[in-house]
A and B are shown apart, each in its own frame.
Chain A
Amino acid sequence: MWTPRFCLKWGPQLKQLRAAVASTQLRAISARIVNDSFIVVQPESEGSAGSESLTYPGVWLRDNCSCSECFHASSQSRRLDWDNFDASVRPQHLHTDADTQEIHVRWSDSHVSSYSLQWLRERSFKDQRQRNYLDDFYRPRTHHWRGADFEHVAQRFDYGDVMHDDRALRDWLQALAVYGVALIGGAPIDKGVVRQLAERVGFIRRTTYGEEFIVQAKPGAKNFAYLSDPLPLHTDLPYYEYKPSVNILHCMVQTESRGGSNLLVDAFHIADRLRAEHPEDFERLKETPVDWNDIGSEDGREFHNIWRSPVICLDGDGRYTRINHSVPQRDSHFNVPLDQVLPWYESYARFVRMARADAHSFKTQPGDVLTFNNIRLLHGRTGYDDTEENSRYIVGAYLDWDIIYSRLRVLKKKLPPA
C-alpha cells in the first residue's frame, strides 16, 4: 500500500537516477542498493565533506518510513504495523529527486517510502556522527575534575538570567551535565526559589520526604542530616533505585560561625583514579552489591527503603552511571559471601580516604543556590555552632535527569549554538 502522493511522483523511469536539473544551486543525489539490503546514498556537492557516501540498512529505512500510514506526524511517532513486520523486507527500486533532495524506495512488500537527504544525514550510521549525537545531544559527555580545579569548573549563573533567559537556562543545565556542579547567585531570600527553579526546568522530584526539604539544626530530628555535627561526604538517597538526580540547595541563612562550609568531590574523578592506580579496589567497588537503606517515618507514615547496588556503577560501555556512598544509609545487612567482606571494606576505606583528601570546601552565602549531580558528586558539610542568633537555613529539592536532559534538548533545538 502506498499513498497517491507517491504514486504521482513515480514516473515510468523507475530505476533511473535523476541528475540535478533545475538550477545550478541544486545538488545531485544518487543512491544504490548494495548486497540486496543496504542503501548507499551519495550526495554530490562540490568536494566538501557533505559528499561522503552514507550507508543505511534497508530494514531500518522501511521501519522508519514517514508516510502517514507508517508515521503519525502529530505525535512524531511510528505507527507501522509491527504485529506483521517483515524483518526480511528488501529494497527493490530506488529513485532520487534532486529538486526535493529526496530518495524514494520501493520495497519488496510493495510499499513505497520517501526520505529527505536532510533527515538521512541527521541519522547517518557513521561513527563520528553517532558519537556527536550521543555526546552532545543525548547526554553531554562529562568532564571529571580534581578538587583543586573546583574554581575553574564551577560556573556561576545569575538567578534572574536563569529564570528569564533561555540561553542562561541552557548554559546552567549544560554545566550541570558536564561538570556536575554549578552555582546560581542573586536569588531572593524566599522559600519559593527552589520550586521556581525546578519548575523552570520541569518539576520537583518527590521522595519519601516530600518535595522541598529544609536543612537546619533541629536537635533530635529523625534524619541525620538535620544535626549540626559535621556531615561527612555522601550522596543523597542511595537507597532508591530511582535515586534523585540533581540537588538544588538554596542558602537562605548562613551561620556566621567558622563551620557550615560545603564540601564537594567529583566521585567520577575518584573512580578514574582508582581505576588507574588501584584496579583491584576499583573492581571490588564496581562488582560488590551493597545494601543501602533508610528506615523511618515521615508525616506519620513508615517507610523501609532498600536498594542493592555497588558503590561504583557502570553501564555496558564501562561508563559511570552512578556513585553510591553514605555511611549512615549503608545497611547492616550485607548480602555478599563472607570472604568478600574484608576485601570490600579495604577498597571502600581507600575510596573514602581518597575522596576526603580531594574534597573542596567553600561556603555559600544567602541568595546562593548550589546545584549538583547527586548521581556523581559526594557532598558534605563541616560542623557548626547553631544558636538562635547564629543559625543556618537551607531549602532543598531534587530534579531528575530524565527531565533535565529533556529540557536541555528542547533548548538546544530552539536556540542557536552557544
Chain B
Amino acid sequence: MIGRIALRCSAFLVLLAGWEAANRLGLIRPFLLPPLTAVAARLVADVASGAFFLNAAVTLYRTLAGFALACVIGIPLGILISRRKLVGWFVEPIVSVGFPMPAIAFLPIFMLWFGVFDLSKIVMTGFSAVFTVIAAADAGTRGVERQLTWSAQSLGATRAELFRDVMLPAAMPQILTGLQVALPLALIVEVASEMLMGGTGLGGMMVNAENYADSVGVYAGIVEIALVGGIAVALMARLRRHLLRWHPEAAG
C-alpha cells in the first residue's frame, strides 16, 4: 500500500524536479513558469493565512451541493427510465441530447435565472453532473436479473418497495461508477464558473491572480485545485469500497 503510494508520488516528484530545473537553468521566463519554490512558498502562505481553506470550502460547498442535487434527481430518474414507460419516453431523449452538450454554455442562462451568487453556480454544477448520473442509474437498472425482483415480490415486497429494496442496491456498482465520473466533472464546472464569474472560491482566486498578472498565484491556484480534486476523488473511491463490500470486486 505505502509502496504503491510512493510509486505514484514519484511520478510527480520527477515532474516537479523538471519544473525547478527548467527555472534554474533559465530555460523559461519566470513569468510564464515561476520557480517551484515561489509557488510552494505561496501555497504555504495561503494555508497559513487560511485563505486556502476558505476558498477550498466555498468551492467544495458549491460542488458538493450541486453534486448532491444531481444525485437526488438523477438516481431516481435513471432507475425510473427503464421501469416506467412514461418517464423513459420523456427523459431518455432529453438525456441523450443533454449528455454530450457542453454544460458550461448554460452558465449565462443560470446567471439570469438564479443570480450571480451561490445558487446559480450550484445549479450549474448539478446540471453538468446530472446526465452522467441518470445514464449510470439507467444502465445499472437495466441489467437487474428478473429473478431478484421476483424473489423480493414473493417475499412480500410491493412494487413501490422494489425500487428501494432491489433496483437501487442492484444498480449501485454502476451508479457509483457514474458518480465517480460526475464528481470531478462537477468540480471542473464549478471552478470554470468561478473563473467566468469571479468572486470567492479557488477558481475565483485564480482569475483574480491572473487579473493582477500574478503568475505565482495562478500556479498556486492550479496546485490547490488539483489537491482538492485529488482528495475528493480518493474519498469517493473509499465510499465505493465501503458500499460495495459485498461485491466480488471488493475481494480483489
A, B: real partners: no
Chain A residues engaging chain B, CB cutoff 8 angstroms: none
